[in-house]
Amino acid sequence: MTDLEVLREAEKELIPIFSQIDAGVKQNLKKVLTAFRNHRVGTHHFAGVSGYGHGDLGRETLDRVFAEVMGAEAAIVRVQFVSGTHAIASALFGVLRPGDEMLSVTGQPYDTLEEVIGLRGGGQGSLMDFGISYRQLELTQEGGINWDVLKTAIWDKTKLVLIQRSCGYSWRESLSIEDIARIVRLVKKQNPETICFVDNCYGEFIEEREPTAVGADLIAGSLIKNPGGTIATGGGYIAGKKELVELAACRLTAPGIGSEGGATFDQNRLLFQGLFLAPQMVGEAVKGSHLIASVFAKLGYPVNPKPLLPRRDTIQAIRLGSADKLIAFCKALQGVSPIGSYLDPVPAAMPGYASDLVMAGGTFIDGSTSEFSADGPLREPYLVFCQGGTHWTHVAIALEAAIEAIGKSGSCLIRKNH
């Protein structure tokens, strides 16, 4: 069987799974449509205001719609958030105070949070700079939550537990909603006042419930990932208990302003429409991740998640094993991107990351990982992380180029891209 025949075989094998994904998309879309109907969304909500943003009816309605979709008491959806990391940082700085402790129960956090916490860098106003201590529970050798240790991990000063839903740049399973619910139960059993905060990036609309619907106190994420539906031009969100959301809003703006400010710069229509499109876009990305896993497993590469397993986020990792293959893979994907297909990705430093990165991202929105992209840190074991995809057929076309570029596992030849 030729390499490209492997792709065709995988496409046929995945037809039943694609049908199951479509059924999940339908349920999530029903949830979004119900929220739109309950809050009487109309064209008058598309208009934005300038300046301070006071009395922005569209923004206020979007906050309520988003909260209902997330199963939360309140939400803020703001274009002023630079990224998911910014939204997460606003939530952490909003609720934590000097002398508090933050505990990560999912091991080492994503690279961009290390400087927010204070694990790298210094003197820029990290959590540690403000006297907030940090502790983490290491994952098991299999890459899972250490449930036995978690049962006794909450101390008196543990104000907040950080739960990273997605695998990030680590080779572990991402968390299911049931995993998150179990973490919350164990934490609350030890101290009902400890805040359970979920980094929800890449996880929205994967399942039919969100972490706030199963007991999480607060969640945050980016609009240029799942919930922006590939058309939000920027921003992020925070959702959860009303008083905690307001504390985070006061960190984004200022005490006394909180959620009452923030002009939307005529972006309301795109934010509403992106939320409407989000379940479908996430479904396509999940189909693409299944296809990537199936194809590269057949070619002999270790993949995470493994083929045919239920998805818990929109990320698919492949262990390529060499810097040359990582670079060649990203170049192949860039070559079939709609934007900047003529560019060659090269490893470079990125703000907030510990290692040089090589990235393929020919997206309409700069940095949008809800559109199809791939990247990886230039360090052993040379993992590439594929995200997003507006339609799985684009992923299939990209895989044709990637297969041609790197071939089967064990092959030393990096083929020339056309």
Residues 201 and 322 in one domain: no
- What's the pLDDT at 417? 46
What is the rounded distance in angstroms from the CA atom of residue 34 to the CA atom of residue 64? 12
Query: Which of 216, 239, 267 is a domain's end point?
Result: 267
Domain presence at residue 46: yes
**Phi/psi of residue 197, each to 5°?**
-115, 130
Query: Which of 239, 267, 295 is a domain's end point?
Result: 267
Domain presence at residue 309: yes
Residues 74 and 166 in one domain: yes
What is the rounded distance in angstroms from the CA atom of residue 106 to the CA atom of residue 103? 9
Domain presence at residue 34: no
Contact between 161 and 136 under an 8 Å Cβ cutoff? The reply is no
The CATH code of the domain that includes 129 is 3.40.640.10
What is the rounded distance in angstroms from the CA atom of residue 102 to the CA atom of residue 194? 10
The CATH code of the domain that includes 7 is 3.90.1150.60
Query: Which of 217, 239, 267 is a domain's end point?
Result: 267
Residues 110 and 13 in one domain: no
Domain presence at residue 122: yes
Residues 292 and 248 in one domain: no
Give exposure, 113-136, as e/b (b: 16+ Cβ within 10 Å): bbbbbbbeeeeeebbeeeebbbeb
Q: What domain range includes position 293? A: 3-26+276-406
Closest CA to 65 of 28, 38, 25: 38
Closest CA to 278 of 355, 368, 338: 368
Residues 174 and 120 in one domain: yes
Domain presence at residue 324: yes
What is the rounded distance in angstroms from the CA atom of residue 119 to the CA atom of residue 140? 21
What is the rounded distance in angstroms from the CA atom of residue 397 to the CA atom of residue 291? 11
User: What are the tokens at 296?
Assistant: 């590269």
- The residue ranges of the chain whose pLDDT is under 50 are 416-418
Residues 313 and 341 in one domain: yes
- What's the pLDDT at 121? 84
User: What are the tokens at 198?
Assistant: 């979920």
Pairing assessment for the beta strands 195-199 and 158-164 based on DSSP bridges: parallel
Residues 71 and 130 in one domain: yes
Residues 262 and 350 in one domain: no
Residues near 226 by Cβ (< 8 Å), separated by ≥ 6?
Answer: 202, 203, 204, 205, 206, 278, 281, 282, 285, 314, 370
Domain presence at residue 415: no
Domain presence at residue 55: yes
Residues 52 and 176 in one domain: yes
- Give the number of residues written for the chain: 418
Q: Cα separations (Å) of 219 from 177, 207, 386? A: 13, 15, 23
Instruction: Please tell me the total count of domains within the chain.
Output: 2
Q: E strand or H helix at 205, and its extent?
A: none
Q: Identity (one letter) of the amino acid at 243?
A: E
Look at the block and give the residue holding tokens 């009902």.
192
Domain presence at residue 233: yes
Residues 68 and 209 in one domain: yes
What is the rounded distance in angstroms from the CA atom of residue 74 to the CA atom of residue 64? 7
Residues 257 and 299 in one domain: no
Closest CA to 2 of 299, 252, 226, 235: 299
Residues 220 and 168 in one domain: yes
How many beta carbons lie within 10 A of that of residue 44, not counting itself? Answer: 11
